[in-house]
Amino acid sequence: MTQKLTPDESRQKFDKIFADLTRSLKIKDELARFWIFILGMFLIVGLWGWIHQINKGLGITGMRDYVSWGMYIGNFVFFVAVSLIGLLISSILHLLHFDWGKPISRVAETVAIAAVALAGLVIVMDMGRPDRFLNIFLHGRFASPIVWDVTVITTYVAISTLLFYLPLIPDLALLRDRLGDDVPKIQKKLYSVLSLGWKGNTRQFEIITHAVRIMLVLIIPVGLSIHTVTSWLFANTLRAGWDSTIFGPYFVSGAFVAGSAAVILVMYVYRQRYDLEEYFTDKSFDWMGKMLVLMCLVYLYFNINEYLVPAYKMRAAEGVHLRELFTGRWSGLFWFAQIGGIFLPVILLLFRYFRRPLPITIIAFITLVASWFKRFIIVIPTLEHPHLPIQNVPEHFVHYTPTRPEIMITLLPFFASAIIITMLAKLFPVVTMWEYAEHSGVDKKTMFEDSEK
Amino acid sequence: MDNQNTRRNFLKTAGIALGCLGLAVPERVIGSGNKVLDAEGDTITLLTPGGQLVKVEKSKLKPAELPSLTENQKRGREGLPIRAWVMVIDLSKCRNARKCMAACQAHHQLRPEQHHMNTLQMQDAEHTAPYYMPKNCQHCDNPPCTKVCPVNATFKRSDGIVLIDNERCIGCRFCIAACPYSARVFNWFEPRDAEKYKDVVYDIEANVPQKKGTISKCLFSADLLRAGKLPSCVSACPNGVYWFGDQNEDAVTNGTTKETTRFSKLLKDNAGYTLMEELGTKPRVYYLPPKNRAFPFEGEMQKHE
């Protein structure tokens, strides 16, 4: 991997890496503007829907007293799930010295930050009284899993941001020193402030490596907690379909599936859009494909446990619930989620052909959509079957059907997270430059020649 | 000391202010009416706890002590001393008259589809006889709902009642998910007659006025209990279904006949039970089985697959 380069070769090589990885910062074409415009429009429509909902009440959604959690909560679980990929790729792969994960660790952190930030917003959108959000801090009761969730999610946001920022500091110094006039002054100023006077000496690298390592270890328990606690919002109730002891690992393993799929999508877009074939290589996609298969197999194992064990006994309420899923009203969505989200990737990605960039991206897209519906299937059908019969209420209380404003509000975080990801790619290189250069044999001294002054 | 003085001064000022408010907007009329609508001429329209609009001459009104919102909420969280309220529902007497449901909705400012008290048609197994079962909050001694509340908006009082503070509720609806008895409702829209109730001081013991985006639930009409009356559903029943009383006194009173009997004996003689006892929620609402029914089951079973 590391062949010794002469200083001149080294300098040339690094110039090329720098030029490649700062391309995303410089692109200002029609497509970029159009993309932001489209996202912005949908975002505004979603926000308008939310304002409408705040004025009229949550009644503008399809939720009612029985199915009182709907798509918003499914969406929340989905975004928390996707954010867990930061833990898997940047931490676990790194600590286990899987070097293929390094160039994509910033992609993983980007996805994690965007997803977990939006998860926080989604949960506020589901509240009947978002104006009283601070009550959670003023009157928080530590016995409530919601308070645990708020605690671990805010911690996860903090650690993920640090994991994004710390390895970025040397890159920011490079941008500060080497970037010409093709970016606005204010942007250069931003790099200068954020790089904290980085000079690139050995001592600084020691400190940053040490700090990153602490974060990499810390994020493991916190990351596992966010999704385990989220699963307990369901598992800690007495309802058939939720009342399960394996919900924690079941959710965590499902999260790795959804997150891997999301990272593959973003990798592919970066690769095509910013001409980064040398950085997001065929080999990286191949590895991601293998990892997705592994994660799907683990998830499959938990699915079998979660469905087969109660299905064997068919206890009254569980039986009603499972019949609805397997052959009843929800069977279409259920089988789409199971086949698209587990079986399809497992079978296809076993073949090398499908692990090439384009096919795997298409499969990842289907898997991601199926993962979203999987959360929908976990949240809603259970609520349609409470212990006591649903009577003396209008028909739309009995069955849940999302309304149009509700769908708009549900889509909002997708556009918002796409905007966050786009903005991060426009501000910062999508691969850690110094790490990648070092890996390609460029000496750190050469990289920071200009900074030493 | 200084501190206390300022607080006393503050309370004094606040008291005067409240008194003035009490004169301008009479809150309680001789203990019964507590909702002000509008004043016209010498009469004033009031809303009674039963949901009736009544015209009263202004001269007959006397300024009431208006409990402030915070006092009200504090008092409402404590519960009535040495009481342990219980309800016994005799299923053999219920003929689905639904007077309880109507009285409840009127008292608690509920929409027609919102039920603190809901009479369900039940059938335990395929070939067993159907029966009517009034179902409200079971006021569990091990309540799954209060456990999950992130802000302590719903809580269990010393007298056994589970209440909701809709001034604090954030509307997360976790308690709805947690309740196995489907006893809780949510204000998906502005509550019924929101305009009429808009100037009324919030009474946590009746959960009135209701608020958009918050939870509501059966409270055993805690405001009436404080006034020494039976809950509105209990006194509205024409068929003697409800018994209500204090477990500490071991006495329950029938809402229809006003007859009082021993709580423990009533349960023992009639094989009383609680709903879904296997969940370990320990309800304070007891049921007597639908045996030797006073009325036949009429109508069709509602099917909900």
Between the CA of residue A9 and those of A85, A451, B298, what are the distances in Å?
36, 20, 93
Does a structural domain hold residue A78?
Answer: yes
pLDDT in tens, A77-105: 999 999 999 888 888 888 888 888 888 99
Are B132 and B78 found together in one domain?
yes
B35: helix, strand or coil? strand
Q: Is A404 on the interface with B (CB under 8 A)?
A: no
Question: Inter-chain contact B174–A234, Cβ cutoff 8 Å?
Answer: no
CATH code: domain of residue A352 = 1.20.1630.10
CATH code: domain of residue B90 = 3.30.70.20
Question: Inter-chain contact B304–A390, Cβ cutoff 8 Å?
Answer: yes
List of chain B residues with pLDDT < 50: 1-3, 18-40, 305
In this predicted structure, what is the pLDDT of residue A353? 92
B288: helix, strand or coil? strand
Does a structural domain hold residue A2?
Answer: no
Does a structural domain hold residue B225?
Answer: yes
Q: Is B114 on the interface with A (CB under 8 A)?
A: yes
In this predicted structure, what is the pLDDT of residue A347? 94
Does a structural domain hold residue B305?
Answer: no
Q: How far apart are CA A281 and CA A268, in angstroms?
A: 10
Are B205 and B271 found together in one domain?
yes
Contact B149, A141 (CB under 8 A): yes
Distance from CA of B280 to the nearest CA of A (A): 10
Mutation for testing the A interface, residue in B148, B165, B187, B277 having most A CBs under 10 Å: B148
In this predicted structure, what is the pLDDT of residue A442? 82
Q: How far apart are CA B79 and CA A303, in angstroms?
A: 46
In this predicted structure, what is the pLDDT of residue A154? 93
Q: Is A366 on the interface with B (CB under 8 A)?
A: no
Contact map slice: A 220-249 vs B, CB within 8 A: 233-234, 236-239
Does a structural domain hold residue B43?
Answer: yes
Residue B137's nearest CA partner among B254, B248, B209, B231 is B231
Question: Inter-chain contact B120–A388, Cβ cutoff 8 Å?
Answer: yes
Does a structural domain hold residue A102?
Answer: yes
Amino acid at residue number B172: C
Between the CA of residue A75 and those of A43, A118, A348, A372, A406, what are the distances in Å?
16, 10, 27, 7, 11
pLDDT in tens, B47-64: 776 667 777 777 776 666
Mutation for testing the B interface, residue in A142, A144, A229 having most B CBs under 10 Å: A144
Instruction: Please name the member of A64, A128, A140 whose beta carbon is closest to the beta carbon of B171.
Output: A128
pLDDT at A148 > cutoff 90: yes
In sequence order, which residues have a C-beta less than 8 Å from that of residue A353 and are 6 or more positions away?
Answer: A359
Are B24 and B144 found together in one domain?
no
pLDDT in tens, A31-74: 888 999 999 999 999 999 999 999 999 999 999 999 999 999 99
- Helix, strand, coil share (%) of chain B residues, nearest 5: 25, 20, 55
- What residue in B sits closest to A391 (Cα-Cα)? B120
In sequence order, which residues have a C-beta less than 8 Å from that of residue B242 and are 6 or more positions away?
Answer: B87, B88, B89, B90, B100, B134, B231, B233, B234, B254, B255, B256
Q: How far apart are CA A366 and CA A292, in angstroms?
A: 13
Pick from B26, B51, B66: which residue ends a domain?
A: B66
Does a structural domain hold residue B293?
Answer: no
pLDDT at A432 > cutoff 60: yes
Question: Inter-chain contact B190–A57, Cβ cutoff 8 Å?
Answer: yes
Does a structural domain hold residue A453?
Answer: no
Q: How far apart are CA B148 and CA A148, in angstroms?
A: 11
Q: Is A146 on the interface with B (CB under 8 A)?
A: yes
Q: How far apart are CA A129 and CA B172, in angstroms?
A: 8
Domain count for chain A, please give it: 1
Are B38 and B86 found together in one domain?
no
Question: Inter-chain contact B169–A128, Cβ cutoff 8 Å?
Answer: yes
Residue A387's nearest CA partner among B125, B115, B275 is B275
Q: How far apart are CA A449 and CA B148, in angstroms?
A: 58
Which phi and psi (to 5°) does residue A263 adopt? -65, -40
Residue A226 structure tokens? 């966010």
**CA angle centred on A54, ends A53 and A59, rounded to 5°:** 45
- The interface pTM score, or ipTM, of the predicted complex is 0.90
Contact map slice: B 121-160 vs A, CB within 8 A: 121-122, 135, 144, 147-153
Which domain covers residue A219, as residue numbers? 7-447
Q: How far is CA B4 from the centre of its chain?
A: 37
- Helix, strand, coil share (%) of chain A residues, nearest 5: 75, 0, 25
- What residue in A sits closest to B114 (Cα-Cα)? A393
pLDDT at A279 > cutoff 80: yes
Pick from B44, B66, B88: which residue ends a domain?
A: B66
In sequence order, which residues have a C-beta less than 8 Å from that of residue B28 and are 6 or more positions away?
Answer: B34, B64, B66
Does a structural domain hold residue B302?
Answer: no
Contact A104, A276 (CB under 8 A): no
In this predicted structure, what is the pLDDT of residue B34? 46
Pick from B66, B81, B116: which residue ends a domain?
A: B66
| Cβ neighbours, 10 Å, residue A329 | 14
Does a structural domain hold residue A194?
Answer: yes
Which domain covers residue B271, as residue numbers? 73-288
In this predicted structure, what is the pLDDT of residue B200? 87
Average predicted confidence (pLDDT) for chain A: 91
Q: How far apart are CA B123 and CA A134, in angstroms?
A: 45
pLDDT in tens, A352-393: 999 999 999 999 999 999 999 999 999 999 999 999 999 999
Distance from CA of B21 to the nearest CA of A (A): 27
For every residue of B155-206, DSSP letters joined together read EE-TTS-EEE-TTT-----HHHHH-TT---EE--SSPTTTTTTTTSPPBTTT
Question: Inter-chain contact A150–B150, Cβ cutoff 8 Å?
Answer: yes
Q: Which residue has the tokens 């497992």?
A: A346
In this predicted structure, what is the pLDDT of residue A1? 47
> Would you tell me the crossing angle of helices A71-83 and A247-273 to the nearest 10 degrees?
70
Domain count for chain B, please give it: 2
Output the pTM of the full model: 0.89
Q: Is A390 on the interface with B (CB under 8 A)?
A: yes
